[in-house]
């Protein structure tokens, strides 16, 4: 990344297949409010490049909703084509066992990705499930950052039975065991973790390698407690994330500008914390 050219780094950007009328896709667009954002990769690249915003891109490995994953290799190639402002994370479901471990090792050894994204409610596992530990061992070995979805899931909201998505898998307290057992694996807890916001703050405060990305919610809906800690004890542990294409960075950043964050904290959240976490350096 050409860090000096960027005004912000969005740590939570989904690369999605074109909408096909999938019920979960339609329900999510209704829940978030149709942002009018294109799902085309060329448009994604133009959106971020035109705004001088860096981004972390990924596509989730999950079967429960029937939405196809964009292959990790395609995500990596896309990021490489736009490497001045974009990096790739991969996604493998740890419940796939040795296949997931092998795929993760190959992606890392080929320098294809800079981290991984997990979505426990859609991948149907508790983060502390011992079956996921062989995957975490690889992440810990290579010091790979891992983004975990936490809290409520917009995917499945309003569908019969929540589309089969079980919210219990999004409790951030289950990540505490992972942080204890794999201290060299940076962890990003994605989203304000409603209804477990206090638990997420506690884990982030207690474990040095744990961060929170603020994606999936407009800042105008952040809890006072989250803003209080972002302004004080966790000011170097909070990261800008939008949840593109469901939430547009333009909307997120406009609402962020109106939220009661301290002036000295805003640049930390928008860019500087991510620069430090990912080990970026100005070129």
pLDDT of residue 265: 98
Nearest to 136 by CA among 179, 173, 82: 179
Residue 58 lies in a domain: yes
Q: What is the mean pLDDT of residues 114-135?
A: 98
130-188 per-position pLDDT tens digit: 999 999 999 999 999 999 999 999 999 999 999 999 999 999 999 999 999 999 999 99
Residue 110 lies in a domain: yes
Q: What is the CATH number of the domain that holds 63?
A: 3.20.20.140
What are the distances in angstroms from CA 214 to CA 86, 221, 255? 19, 11, 12
pLDDT of residue 283: 40
Instruction: Give the chain's mean pLDDT.
Output: 94
Q: How many domains are there within the chain?
A: 1
Residue 159 lies in a domain: yes
Residue 109 lies in a domain: yes
Residue 283 lies in a domain: no
Alpha carbon 44 to chain centroid, angstroms: 16
Give residue 108's domain range: 3-278
């Amino acid at each position: 990344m050409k860090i000096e050219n960027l005004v912000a780094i969005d740590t939570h950007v989904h690369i999605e297949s074109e909408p096909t009328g999938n019920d979960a896709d339609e329900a999510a667009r209704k829940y978030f409010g149709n942002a009018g954002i294109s799902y085309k990769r060329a448009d994604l690249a133009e959106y971020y490049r035109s705004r001088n915003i860096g981004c972390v891109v990924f596509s989730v490995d999950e079967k429960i909703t029937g939405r196809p994953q964009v292959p990790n290799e395609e995500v990596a190639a896309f990021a490489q084509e736009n490497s001045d402002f974009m990096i790739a994370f991969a996604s493998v479901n740890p419940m796939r066992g040795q296949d997931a471990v092998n795929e993760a090792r190959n992606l890392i050894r080929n320098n294809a990705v800079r981290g991984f994204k997990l979505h426990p409610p859609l991948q149907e596992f508790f983060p502390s499930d011992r079956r996921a530990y062989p995957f975490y061992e690889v992440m810990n070995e290579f010091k790979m950052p891992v983004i975990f979805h936490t809290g409520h899931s917009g995917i499945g909201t309003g569908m019969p039975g929540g589309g089969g998505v079980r919210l219990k898998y999004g409790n951030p307290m289950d990540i505490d065991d992972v942080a204890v057992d794999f201290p060299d694996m940076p962890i990003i807890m994605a989203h304000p973790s409603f209804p477990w916001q206090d638990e997420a703050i506690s884990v982030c405060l207690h474990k040095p390698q744990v961060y929170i990305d603020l994606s999936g919610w407009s800042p105008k809906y952040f809890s006072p407690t989250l803003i209080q800690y972002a302004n004080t004890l966790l000011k170097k542990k909070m990261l800008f994330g939008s949840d593109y294409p469901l939430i547009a960075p333009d909307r997120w950043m406009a609402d962020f500008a109106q939220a009661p964050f301290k002036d000295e904290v805003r640049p930390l959240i928008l860019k500087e914390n991510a620069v430090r976490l990912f080990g970026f350096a100005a070129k």
